[in-house]
């Protein structure tokens, strides 16, 4: 309860647990770091277990990727996680690019550039308007004038 000193002020007794709850910010930071280190150790153990179970002869790329992830985690000290969601209001616009390889060597007589561009580039323009994205035909054979292709 409370003690009443002679001057009329109340003095409240505290439990020992309430003192431990009033941690300073540095103690909270230390606890958070310790928690992250523990999580990193657990993550590395999971990766090592997965690497042991994986056949390195059959899956060399997977083994290499697991090794890289282990090295990153040990260097940083916490598990590296990609953000699951992208905040489109606060982050920069996302640019997605896809490179499509056309099988020119398999079909040397077929005019892929002409089919993609269409008459006066109308097919390409229509595709760009419908999909609302930019398109470009690049590489050897993309320009009529061979001199310009060599200069580029």
Residues 58-98 pLDDT 10s: 888 989 999 998 888 888 776 666 566 766 677 677 777 88
Q: What is the domain partition of the chain in residue ranges? A: 25-76, 95-144
Give domain 95-144's CATH architecture: 2-Layer Sandwich (3.30)
Nearest to 80 by CA among 91, 72, 88: 72
> Is the predicted pLDDT of residue 149 greater than 60, yes or no?
no
Rounded to two decimals, what is the model's pTM?
0.37
**Phi and psi at residue 57, to the nearest 5°:** -70, -35
**pLDDT for res 13:** 52
pLDDT tens, residue by residue, 14-26 = 544 444 455 677 7
What rounded mean pLDDT belongs to the chain?
76
């Amino acid at each position: 309860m409370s003690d009443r000193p002679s001057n009329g002020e109340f003095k409240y007794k505290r439990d020992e647990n309430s003192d431990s709850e009033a941690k300073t910010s540095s103690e909270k930071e230390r606890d958070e770091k310790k928690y992250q280190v523990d999580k990193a150790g657990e993550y590395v153990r999971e990766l090592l277990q997965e690497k042991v179970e994986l056949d390195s002869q059959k899956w060399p790329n997977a083994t290499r990727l697991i090794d890289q992830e282990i090295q990153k985690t040990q260097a940083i000290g916490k598990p590296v996680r990609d953000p699951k969601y992208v905040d489109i209001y606060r982050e920069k616009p996302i640019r997605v690019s896809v490179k499509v390889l056309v099988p020119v060597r398999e079909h040397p007589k077929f005019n892929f550039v002409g089919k993609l561009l269409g008459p006066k580039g109308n097919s390409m323009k229509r595709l760009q308007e419908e999909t609302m994205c930019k398109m470009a035909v690049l590489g050897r054979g993309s320009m009529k004038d061979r001199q310009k292709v060599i200069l580029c």
